[in-house]
Structure 1
């Protein structure tokens, strides 16, 4: 099945599932700098797969045709993007019967060389804007039960000691939050944004994830109460959370 965001152009899926106040995020030019090219989309989605543990360093990626169908872009664009990632050291190309395109074993070390403070700050600010808009519009409109999965992620983060698992769970929280408040199309948009962040922003330390998880918990509490202003404050507190500080 073709990804809806790609089928209709970046973030332009129509339909009632997307609330009006966040409809503007469907315009790709609103992303920091400019909208992603097809090649950049591939890079961000591969990075997101690694963060979510869909693939790990050393694992084989799906074939270019499968990725092209998932993303709604041409196979040749995917092939060129994967070749570029091989040149950058993010991926390895292997030939032969057991060949294919693999996540480089030293993925983390290569990504660390790509960190970009300015781009990371712009993406972080845009993500804050997106979530504040979603929360402001969705408070009081979330059906019973829709936040249960998010609460389960918060509870699991509280119990986990594994750094990679904590980062995975936090990323899943923000993806699921986007879908709970904005629908499947907004989730696709958030996936592109979070994937880009994975490439330019250092992976958070466990203590930071736990500090931000207190903000996650506060956000869910306020969403259940239908309290918009405190919910928005919880989103903002997440961005400024520190390992030794409680959200305010």
Structure 2
């Protein structure tokens, strides 16, 4: 499987942080990397030197951020020849957010609807090369083959790949930030087997429409797909 679209996803989370709150922003960016599944449980993060360069911060800042997240149970340090910083497996389960204000839910979900349906339309309007087309279909197949433990990661990577294929780099960053918030909410309640099967069917409609260059159909398929998780989120969070 080509890693080209995933490299764009990496750039959406491995980018310089803002000045003034370097530690807090580095912690937040690392959490986003974990929540999006860009690095899966049990896999290693880039080295401290690489992260410092990517975030444009000192190695001390990176080291402190990793230390904080290790204490919180998100990361673990391993020494030796095959050592490094690894995403915890399993990850700590998010705390129940309780009742989330309805206007906050609608704000996050409304933005997701605009970003992701627009991304699908834009991707369908482009002439995708063979590698990109194969990557998109492979992401769909990976989601279909994923078990419950890996499904949300596979689902997220498919959606982020669609955003990357839209050809608007800053869009990937916006989608990644939005989905990190949505994933935090989704992780507080269990996956429903029937929902997974239904979701995979909708994924196929989305991907098929993009590959066929049918922008209207791609946008409509994404909106229908998102409506399902919107209903679940409103039910569990409201």
TM-score of Structure 1 vs Structure 2, range by shorter chain: 0.5 to 0.7
> Counterpart in 1 of 2:124?
139
Higher helix share: 2
Aligned pair count?
209
Residue of 167, 174, 180 corresponding to 1:182: 167
Q: Normalising by structure 2, report the TM-score.
A: 0.66
Residue of 105, 110, 113 corresponding to 2:95: 113
* Partner Cα distance (1:218, 1:100) in 2: 40
* Partner Cα distance (2:123, 2:82) in 1: 48
Query: How far does residue 43 in structure 1 lie from its aligned partner after superposition?
Result: 1.6
* Partner Cα distance (1:117, 1:73) in 2: 36
- Structure 2 spans left out of the alignment, 5+ residues: 1-9, 19-23, 230-238
Change in CA separation of 1:222 and 1:41 when aligned onto 2, cut-off 3 Å: same
* Contact persistence 1:64–1:79 (CA under 8 A): yes
Describe how 1:3-152 pairs up with structure 2 within 5 A: 37-48=25-36, 51-52=37-38, 54-57=39-42, 61-92=45-76, 101-107=85-91, 110-113=92-95, 115=97, 118=100, 122-143=107-128, 145=130, 146-152=132-138
Q: What is the RMSD of the two structures over their aligned residues, measured on CA atoms?
A: 3.8
Post-superposition Cα deviations, 1:54-104, rounded to whole Å, max 9, x if no partner, equal: 4425x6544332222234444343333223323433234578998764444
Query: How far does residue 39 in structure 1 lie from its aligned partner after superposition?
Result: 2.8
- Structure 1 spans left out of the alignment, 5+ residues: 11-35, 243-248
Post-superposition Cα deviations, 1:175-211, rounded to whole Å, max 9, x if no partner, equal: 2111111344433443444344443431644542332
Q: Secondary structure at the match of 1:111?
A: coil
